[in-house]
Amino acid sequence: MDELKLSEIREEIQKDRRAFIKNVLGGTIAGSLLMVIPAGAMEFPEQIPGMQDETGIFITRKKFAFIVDITRCIGCGSCCVADKNEYKVPEGNYRTWVERYIIDDHDNVFVDAPNGGLDGYTEPREDVPNPVRDTFFVPKLCNMCEKPSCVQVCPVGATFQTEDGFVLVDDKRCVACSYCVQACPYSVRFINPVTKTADKCTWCYHRVRKGLLPACVNVCPTHARKFGDLNDKKSEIYKIMRLPHIISVLKHGMGNKPSLHYLGLRREVV
């Protein structure tokens, strides 16, 4: 009985050895192949699962949403710096910015965003006369409206909505009439003084297409900016949007249906 068992064990070990050698050889071959075949799809680590399988012109299987958690934002300005670096945004114009809200014990609300929060809020505001009751930061960016006013008013169709829900600007068509700048309820648009065309936050469409997170989301140290696919039930975005949370959008009454949501949005926020 014991002998039999022992021989069986030996056999198993032999098998394993063979399998092990097979695996090593196979792996080596596969590894060598990886070295000679250009690994385009593997160039970036995929931050948005499944994006590298999207080969069509538009992203069809995903529904993106952006969530800003204002209870997490510390006003460091990293997102603004990342954005400025990503797009070389000219001075005095802002694709994204961070607002500082201070509420004193007389319920006065003080809001500011010096230089769009680009330098970070390192100094306390000096001109608040009463003791501060509450303070928080609110990052702002394109709301990617489902019913965008900018697209409605653009006379030449240079501002358009892609089938995957992104609102983008074709700077080869834009005449810079500024109608979209006037029409945006959130003031996220500007006329880029370099290109002389309308410009705004794109939620880093070029990065998202490659499976990367928007630059601002990528650098946020407190994870206050979140981006993801509402169709992906494993995504944090899905979990926040589908489970009970205090969540809202800016200027709900405008009827633009933003895809940018705010977690813990306060009524003082403009």
Partner 1 sequence: MQGVAETATAVAGYAFPNDFHVHWSLMIVLYPYITGIVAGAFIVSSLYHVFHIQALKPIARFSLLFALAFLACATLPLLNHLGHPERAMNMFLTPNPSSAMAGFGYIYTAYGIVLILEILFIYRETLVKLKDQASGFMKNVYGVLSMGSDNIGARALALDHKVIGFLAAIGIPMACILHGYVGFIFGGVKANSLWATPLMPVIFLLSACVSGIAGIIVTYLIIKPRAADSECIRSCIKFLWGFFILDFVFEMLEIGMHAYLSTHHWHALHELFWGPLYQSYWIYQVLIFSVIPFFILMGLSLIRFNDFIVKLFGFIASAMILFQVLLMRWNVVIGGQLMSKSEQGVVSFHPEWIAKEGIIPAIIIMVLPLIILFILSKVFPFWLPAESESSSSK
**Nearest 5°: CA angle at 195, between 192 and 196?**
65
175 binds partner 1 per the rule CB under 8 A: yes
Q: What amino acid is encoded at 166 in this protein?
A: F
Cβ-based nearer residue to partner 1, 192 or 259: 192
Q: Residue 123 carries which DSSP code?
A: S
Task: Select the span of 54-62, 121-129, 170-178, 233-241 touching partner 1 (CB under 8 A).
Answer: 170-178
Task: Select the span of 5-13, 48-56, 152-160, 207-215 touching partner 1 (CB under 8 A).
Answer: 152-160
231 binds partner 1 per the rule CB under 8 A: no
Q: Could you tell me which residues come within 8 angstroms of residue 175 by beta carbon, excluding any fewer than 6 positions away?
A: 155, 156, 158
Question: Sign (positive/negative) of CA torsion 47, 50, 51, 53?
Answer: positive
CA distance 210 to 48: 9
Cβ-based nearer residue to partner 1, 96 or 235: 96
Determine how many CB atoms are found less than 10 A away from the CB of residue 177.
15
146 binds partner 1 per the rule CB under 8 A: no
Identified binder of partner 1 from the candidate list 67, 113, 138, 208, rule CB under 8 A = 113
Interface residues for partner 1 in 80-109 (CB under 8 A)? 92-94, 97, 99
Identified binder of partner 1 from the candidate list 32, 193, 236, 252, rule CB under 8 A = 193
Q: Which helix (H) or strand (E) holds 101?
A: strand 97-104
- Token pair belonging to 114: 């010096």
CA distance 20 to 16: 6
Cβ-based nearer residue to partner 1, 62 or 140: 140
Cβ-based nearer residue to partner 1, 155 or 221: 155
Residues that bind partner 1 (CB under 8 A): 92-94, 97, 99, 111-113, 115-116, 140, 149, 151-158, 173-179, 181-193, 196-197, 254-255, 270
